[in-house]
Amino acid sequence: MSNSQTNESSKRFQSWRNFLIWLILALLLRWQVMEPRWIPSGSMLPTLQIHDKILIEKIRPRLTLSTHNHLDKNTLIVFAPPEALVEAGYEKNSALIKRVIGLPGDQIEVHEGKLFLNEKLIEEPWVAEPIKYKMGPIIVPEDSLWVLGDNRNNSLDSHIWGPLPERNVIGTAFLRYWPLGKFGFIRETTPGQYER
């Protein structure tokens, strides 16, 4: 075999090796750190529109659980459906997106079209219309979150199926990348809004 053939074989091998390394890194990044998602329903209107494309990060939920802390109230989370939804026919490997409203020990109540957290009225600029149902008061159990869609009157969420086990959280939504006209970070808590 000539030197030129050896060099050509070596270059091909390096190219394939580099390709495999990048492929493995990309898969690890998607599996462990960040992944794209799209919004399939109107349950988060007006905050997120149907077919918006977002990025979720997966590290913060894992770190939070491993340190026995909780995600911040008002965080938009993507999660695996709770058992009640799986029993009702949802695919176990599907994902939903909602807003964290309550943490373990919080009292949640809805009446007069408004949300009350620990008996305090919560102003929610992302909710477009008064809530048309009553709920609670309920106390969020340990190791659970209370999650609601921003489109409160058209959202399959905790007010229907109950608390979400924290272990079901896949990641937190942090960036909308499509449509380009709405590109940007996804808004989180207004300071002091959800203080206990």
The candidate with the shortest Cα–Cα distance to 68, out of 167, 154, 161, is: 167
List of E strands, the chain: 34-38, 53-57, 76-79, 96-102, 107-111, 114-117, 120-121, 135-139, 144-148, 164-165, 169-178, 184-185
How many CA within 13 A on the CB side of residue 182? 14
Give domain status of residue 68, yes or no: yes
63 domain residue, yes or no: yes
Q: How many domains does the chain have?
A: 2
Q: How many helices (H) and strands (E) does the chain have?
A: 4, 12
Residue with tokens 């799209």: 38
| The one catalytic residue among 43, 144, 155, 158 | 43
**161 domain residue, yes or no:** yes
pTM: 0.78
- Catalytic entry in 58, 73, 98, 158: 98
67 in a domain, yes or no? yes
Residue 109: DSSP 8-state: E
**Does residue 190 belong to any structural domain of this protein?**
no
Same domain, residue pair 67 and 131: yes
Buried (b) or exposed (e) across 144-159, using 16+ Cβ within 10 A?
bbbbbbbbbeebbbbb
- Known active-site residue 11: no
Q: How is 167-180 classified by DSSP, letter by letter? A: GGEEEEEEEEEESG
Same domain? For 98 and 47 the reply is: yes
Q: Which of 23-37, 50-64, 148-162, 167-181 has the lowest mean pLDDT?
A: 23-37
How confident is the model at residue 79, as a pLDDT?
94
Q: 118 with 99, same domain?
A: yes
For residue 47, CA distances in Å to 17, 82, 105, 158 come to 43, 23, 27, 18
Catalytic residue list contains 43: yes
142 part of a folded domain: yes
pLDDT tens-digit readout, 126-137: 999 999 999 989
**75 close to 57: Cβ distance less than 8 angstroms:** no
* Selected residue with higher pLDDT from 79 and 32: 79
> Using CA atoms, how far apart are residues 179 and 13, in angstroms rounded to an integer?
40
Least confident of 9-18, 38-47, 155-164, 174-183: 9-18
Query: Cα–Cα distances in Å, from 99 out to 25, 92, 95, 129?
Result: 31, 20, 14, 16
pLDDT category at 193 given cuts 50, 70, 90 is very low
Domain at 95, CATH number: 2.10.109.10
Whole domain around residue 94: which residue ranges? 39-185
Cβ neighbours around 125 below 10 Å, total: 9
Q: What are phi and psi of 161, to 5 degrees?
A: -110, 0
